[in-house]
Amino acid sequence: MRILLTNDDGIHAPGLAVLEKIARQFSDDIWICAPDEEQSGMGHALTLTRPVRLRKHGERRFSVTGTPTDAVTMGLRKVIEAQPDVILSGVNRGANLADDITYSGTVSAAIEGALAGVRSIAMSQVYTKETRNSHSAFAAATEWGAKVLGPLLDTPLPKRTLVNVNFPPIAPDAVKGIRAVRQGFHDYSRGTVVEGRDPRGFQYYWFGLEAIEHTLDHGTDLEAVDDGYIAVTPLQLDLTHHSSLGALAARYES
């Protein structure tokens, strides 16, 4: 089984090493193609206005001067000669839950993989202020990764679907289990805008990611992680709101 690894935290991110450790429990045919720098929050961006460069860091290990989507594209077209069996993206430092998904470079790399017809899985390790800088920040993902990934490698998935996995920010032995759940939604628009002055005296703004309020709807990824479970959410690329189609069509027909 040939597996392509990528992420949005960059080729040197600790979470990528965790992902490699998880992947090597299933295969030795591991290829890495990741952005050369952190690309969190880049979503599904594709670099069109400048060239990207491919750098070789070792056997089957490459970085790209671009976005996570660029990294997958280069991984598929220039790094690996043949299509991989699986694309794994992560393990992201931080949650990709609820409406984080469309901002997420980690999930978007898996979206790019799904578009290319490859089984694709995004993995993220939720952190708290307390666990963020701890050396055991990725402990839950490290310990539980293979157990979560196993079934995702051979469960049939329709075309243009992918899977989003989030590990709770708790010790591995405190994790209660794995739940397949739907995507939740945060109640309020995200984060804060921090204002300041740069060293030359000009005003700047910087988007912050404060804890976002949410109601824990039953059966969601947010609730699962909050309850101490690993959240596994199948996602589809068809964003059409099918039940509104008829009403809209009727308006334009009249």
Would you tell me the crossing angle of helices 14-23 and 139-154 to the nearest 10 degrees? 40
Both tokens of residue 207?
């988007």
- Binding residue for Mn ion (CB under 5 A) from 4, 5, 9, 89? 9
User: What's the closest the beta carbon of residue 8 comes to Mn ion, in angstroms?
Assistant: 4
Only segment of 6-14, 66-74, 111-119, 224-232 that touches Mn ion (CB under 5 A): 6-14
Question: Hey, which bits of 21-148 come out as E strands?
Answer: 29-35, 54-58, 61-64, 86-93, 119-125
Q: Which is nearer to Mn ion, 14 or 29 (CB)?
A: 14
CB of 104 to Mn ion, least distance (A): 7
Asked if residue 8 belongs to a known ligand binding site, the reply is yes
Q: Which residue in the set 40, 63, 220, 233 belongs to the binding site for Mn ion (CB under 5 A)?
A: 40
Residue whose C-alpha is closest to residue 111's, from 240, 239, 254: 239
Q: Minimum distance from CB of 132 to Mn ion (Å)?
A: 13
Within 87-146, which residues bind Mn ion (CB under 5 A)?
Answer: 92
Which CA distances in Å does 101 have to 52, 53, 98, 167?
Answer: 25, 27, 6, 15
Give the nearest residue (CB) to Mn ion.
40
> Is position 29 annotated in a ligand binding site?
no
Q: Does 221 bind Mn ion (CB under 5 A)?
A: no
Which of 23-26's residues contact partners 24+ apart within 8 Å by CB, and which partners? 23/88, 23/149, 25/145, 25/146, 26/1, 26/146, 26/149, 26/150, 26/153
Q: Are 145 and 123 in contact (CB under 8 A)?
A: yes
Q: Is 92 annotated as a binding residue?
A: yes
Residues 139 and 155: their CA atoms lie apart, in Å, by 26
* Residue 9 marked ligand-binding: yes
CA neighbor of 214 nearest in space, from 242, 247, 243, 189: 189
- Candidates 4-12, 154-162, 170-178, 216-224: pick the segment binding Mn ion (CB under 5 A): 4-12
For residue 20, the minimal CB distance to Mn ion (Å) is 16
Out of 3, 4, 8, 120, the only residue in the binding site for Mn ion (CB under 5 A) is 8
Q: Min. distance of Cβ 128 from Mn ion in angstroms?
A: 16
Which residue ranges make up the site for Mn ion (CB under 5 A)?
A: 8-9, 40, 92
Residue ranges at the known binding site for a divalent metal cation: 8-9, 40, 92
